[in-house]
Amino acid sequence: MTDLPAATQRKMGLVIDLDTCVGCHACVVACKGWNTEGYGAPLSDQNPYGANASGTFLNRVHSYEVTPETGSAQLVHFPKSCLHCEDAPCVTVCPTGASYKRTEDGIVLVDESSCIGCGLCAWACPYGAREMDKAAGVMKKCTLCVDRIYNEHIPQEDRVPACVRTCPAGARHFGDLGDPDSDVSQLVAERGGMDLMPEMGTKPVNKYLPPRPRDEEPVMDVLGPLLEPVADTPDGLLGWLDRQLSKL
């Protein structure tokens, strides 16, 4: 079995704003594209254009209709990927050491050359964040684009995970959640960022910002103003006609 580091120098992770995410799946497409075209561990697809298409994705977006105790229902889009937990059960169950957590930044990775595809890590992960690549026969998961964030050959603004760089709504944020003064830590503190399923005791590094309550907009009365009289006493032609008719 694989041991977890006693502590990590940093806690690199994502902060996902559920209030801002519009469910466009741009992060899913960017993740698939980067890992398939630009990274050395492509994500395979099986029968991608057929009736029973399947494939490997490291990031997925689920949509739910949520009805609060007060107010109207709202649609919440919920992106999900590996949470790079501090106490990652996927690491400690791995029989070959293929799953491991890096001491320098806390990122959980898979050494595909050591993975035997036994599936124990997927069984241990309470978030369903691991996927078996059928073509490669190994487990794959979000790497936080470790090949991008330290790549000095690309512009500074691109040294973030592909999903963060692509999100058109600015719903995804990346940084060191172990530093209380970092932008992501400040954002979590301001918005009440939450762990996913904290009862599992995995201490996920990634955080979710809850949706803000929606204001109830008043119902607009479209016809009311048009039906109101324009004057208390009609004048002009209508006034003369009204006076003549009142004499009958």
Looking only at the bridges linking them, the beta strands covering 74-80 and 54-55 are unpaired
Q: Phi and psi (nearest 5°) for 131?
A: -135, 140
pLDDT at 74 over 70: yes
Domain count, the chain: 1
Range of weakest confidence among 34-43, 61-70, 114-123: 34-43
The pLDDT of 195-221, averaged and rounded, is 85
Q: What's the mean pLDDT when you consider all of the chain? A: 90
Q: What integer pLDDT is reported at residue 212 of this predicted model? A: 83
Is 80 domain-assigned?
yes
Class of residue 209 by CB neighbours under 10 A (exposed 0-12, middle 13-18, buried 19+) = buried
| The token pair that represents 204 in the structure block | 């996920």
- Say which residue, 19 or 245, is predicted with more confidence: 19
Is 189 domain-assigned?
yes
pLDDT at 137 over 60: yes
Q: What integer pLDDT is reported at residue 109 of this predicted model? A: 96
Q: What is the pTM of this model?
A: 0.83
Is 166 domain-assigned?
yes
Is 228 domain-assigned?
no
Range of weakest confidence among 40-49, 99-108, 238-247: 238-247
Q: What integer pLDDT is reported at residue 217 of this predicted model? A: 60
**CA 171 distance to own-chain centroid:** 7
Is 1 domain-assigned?
no
pLDDT at 40 over 60: no
| pLDDT, tens digit (0-9, with 9 covering 90-100), for 140-198 | 999 999 999 999 999 999 999 999 999 999 999 999 999 999 999 999 999 999 999 99
Is 201 domain-assigned?
yes
| pLDDT, tens digit (0-9, with 9 covering 90-100), for 15-24 | 999 999 999 9
Is 103 domain-assigned?
yes
Range of the structural domain that residue 112 is part of: 12-209
Measuring CA to CA, which residue among 201, 169, 175 is closest to residue 187? Answer: 175
| pLDDT, tens digit (0-9, with 9 covering 90-100), for 219-231 | 666 666 666 665 5
We report the CATH number of the domain holding residue 153 as 3.30.70.20
| pLDDT, tens digit (0-9, with 9 covering 90-100), for 96-105 | 999 999 999 9
CA–CA gap between residue 247 and residue 32 (Å, rounded): 83
Range of weakest confidence among 27-31, 44-48, 231-235: 231-235
Measuring CA to CA, which residue among 51, 33, 52, 53 is closest to residue 42? Answer: 33
Is 112 domain-assigned?
yes
The pLDDT of 22-33, averaged and rounded, is 95
Q: What integer pLDDT is reported at residue 100 of this predicted model? A: 97
pLDDT at 28 over 90: yes
